[in-house]
Structure 1
Amino acid sequence: MEDSQSERQRMIRRHHREKKELQARIQGMKNSVPRNDRKRRKQLFLDVARLQAEMEQKHRQELEKFQDNSNLDSVTEDLAKMDLENQPPHVSKAQKRRERRAALERERQERIAQAEIEHLASFRQDEEKKLSAILGARNLEMKDIPADGNCMYRAIQDQLVFSVTVASLRIRTSNYMRKHVDDFLPFSSDPETGNAYSRDDFLSYCDDIVSSEAWGGQLELRALSHVLKTPIEVIQAESPTIVIGEEYRKRPLTLVYMRYSCILGEHYNSVKPLDAGPVEAAALRLF
């Protein structure tokens, strides 16, 4: 019995630690998304709700292992006490009312988030189905790329027959954009305010391409098409395929743009031939 009790207490402490770690992770996710980026903020809200729901379900399932019709409420109460260990010992009635209202609001937001998660899942499935059809008609299939700030560069890297690092692609992209400021500056703006970049703002943006895991988009793809002297085509579910660098005659590098697949928003994947061996896969990337 004592061993079981000790194990239960260790589990409670672990749950408490995991909840704190999740809150720190969520805060980091929030800091990485601009406040005025409504689309990515909405996706962030959905993913935060999902992460919290998954942890609550996991903890509840672990607690149920110790249920014996008498101690589950005690375990849950102990966990709740640990969550509130830093709260003042005496809470006013007004504070209790505010906490109850906040709890009810959290429950309401969680219900809304769950409904939106289910709605988003249908969007994701529909997007994947359409992309599969588009790629299948070209005897291609999706090749998954890690969902991080480097996904566009990694997808380009995957399409090349020569070895190159993501860091090198970022440096070459930044250098090209710096040397051709006048070609890119008119199309550059602050993602948080929407205001057009000044020349200094744009040069700082070029610095970020190298020094951070800033997401790449059409400006960076345009620069890379010139750096590699190769067309880059971007396949989408809801819009026609975009071809960047059409002036070049080499075989295009092919990327897939996905709006709904990633936790924090848009994502790029690579492609590969359907049921292709290594030789055929390499031939696809020739340019």
Structure 2
Amino acid sequence: MDELQAQHRKEQKDLQARITQKKKAASKKTRRGINEECDRLQRELIERHQAEIAAANGEPVAPVDALEDLTLSNGSDEKDAPEEPNPATNGTSTAAPAASRAKKPNRQKARLARRAAEQAAQAEIAAEEAAKQTDHRGNEKEVMDGVFKRLGLTQIEINPDGHCLYSAIAYELQGLGLGLKPDSKRIALKDTTQSRIETVTSPQHDGYRAVRAVTADFITEHPDDFAPFMEEPLEQYTHKVKFTAEWGGELELQAISRAYGVDINVIQGDGRIQKIESGDTEELDEEERARRVMWLAYYRHTYGLGEHYNALTKRT
């Protein structure tokens, strides 16, 4: 019985976690259906637990329609049928002691019923708390879509694999006609960087390797601008940028902007727009300056792996 009770507690805990997750992921349109589904799951679990406990105690399980078990001895014939004596008891009847035992209260059953009621109440409280939680994912997507529409931007989905920032930059560099290589006047490419650029076969799928190499080399050649903001040695930091799937952030955006001579606008989940300027576009004419502007979408809640960047392009 202890093992069965432990299993029931675990199943109840797992169900509460599932209910909480379902409530958090529900949108305004699906919230009502999710609530009904959660109530049904909770009700079915409680009914199954009660049936399993009754079976473990050797008690009959009530049928679904709650009809009592009728026997052939029920009816008027029972009154007329003479009671046959039991040889083992010398004709004395054992009906009275049996009835007395049947009326004895089942403390175990009452205790389990109370526990099931407490678990149901806890599940209801958890469901109410989940319903009150802020839908960060839904709110973020709604705000982002509104900004995209207002600014005339189309979102390009980037694979959330740790390279998303660099893949988004590579996609936009090609779309703007700037290529994956930075201006040779701004940075002298080392052999390792040049090698990584030349092995890129598709800017859309593996262009991130070239952007990572350019970013790492630019940081290496401008240590005074970046090293004070690092929590590890510069060489170790740039090695991760160039050769691993380490996520990119503020420092990498600054390096990319300056290395490629582009201004980057990053739309945040709350609608704010972060502007990162390279400082090299002031001397360009208006047309060229406009061409060297790229847009990124930065998400914190929408994607399962965490922070994520998507590319954005102007609608034509």
Q: TM-score, normalization: structure 2?
A: 0.49
Provide, for residues 52-103 of structure 1, a one-character-per-residue CA deviation record: whole Å limited to 9, x for no partner: xxxxxxxxxxxxxxxxxxxxxxxxxxxxxxxxxxxxxxxxx66555444333
* Structure 1 partner of 2:18: 110
Provide, for residues 161-189 of structure 1, a one-character-per-residue CA deviation record: whole Å limited to 9, x for no partner: 2255211111111122222233223323x
Cα deviation, residue 271, structure 1: 1.4
Cα deviation, residue 269, structure 1: 1.1
Q: List aligned pairs for 1:94-133, cutoff 5 A.
A: 97-118=5-26, 122-133=135-146
Cα deviation, residue 136, structure 1: 2.2
Provide, for residues 140-171 of structure 1, a one-character-per-residue CA deviation record: whole Å limited to 9, x for no partner: 22222222211111111111122552111111
Provide, for residues 96-136 of structure 1, a one-character-per-residue CA deviation record: whole Å limited to 9, x for no partner: 55444333322222222222222799433332332222222
* Structure 1 partner of 2:211: 169
Q: List aligned pairs for 1:1-287, cutoff 5 A.
A: 97-118=5-26, 122-160=135-173, 161=177, 162=179, 164=203, 165-188=207-230, 197-198=231-232, 200=233, 202-249=234-281, 250=289, 251-274=292-315, 276=316
Structure 2 gap ranges (5+)? 28-132, 181-202, 282-288
Kept in 1: contact 2:267–2:274 (CA 8 A): yes
Provide, for residues 233-267 of structure 1, a one-character-per-residue CA deviation record: whole Å limited to 9, x for no partner: 11124153111125131321111112222111121
Paired residue secondary structure (1:154): helix
How many Å separate the matches in 2 of 1:125 and 1:234? 19
Structure 1 stretch displaced more, 117-126 or 132-141: 117-126
Structure 1 stretch displaced more, 110-119 or 94-103: 94-103
How many Å separate the matches in 2 of 1:264 and 1:180? 31
Q: TM-score, normalization: structure 1?
A: 0.54
Count of residue correspondences: 173
Kept in 1: contact 2:254–2:278 (CA 8 A): no
Cα deviation, residue 207, structure 1: 1.2
How many Å separate the matches in 2 of 1:95 and 1:180? 64
Structure 1 gap ranges (5+)? 1-92, 189-196, 277-287
Q: Matched residues, percent identical?
A: 25
How many Å separate the matches in 1 of 2:222 and 2:5? 60
Kept in 2: contact 1:152–1:268 (CA 8 A): yes
Cα deviation, residue 273, structure 1: 2.7
- Which is greater in Rg? 2
How many Å separate the matches in 2 of 1:273 and 1:121? 31
Gap change, CA 1:270 and 1:183, over 3 Å in 2: same
Query: Quick one: which amino acid aligns to residue 235 of structure 1?
Result: I
Alignment RMSD (CA, Å): 2.5
Structure 1 stretch displaced more, 127-136 or 117-126: 117-126
Query: Quick one: which amino acid aligns to residue 178 of structure 1?
Result: T
Kept in 2: contact 1:132–1:142 (CA 8 A): no
Cα deviation, residue 224, structure 1: 0.6
How many Å separate the matches in 1 of 2:18 and 2:274? 38
The structure whose RCO (Cα within 8 Å, separation 6+) is larger is: 1
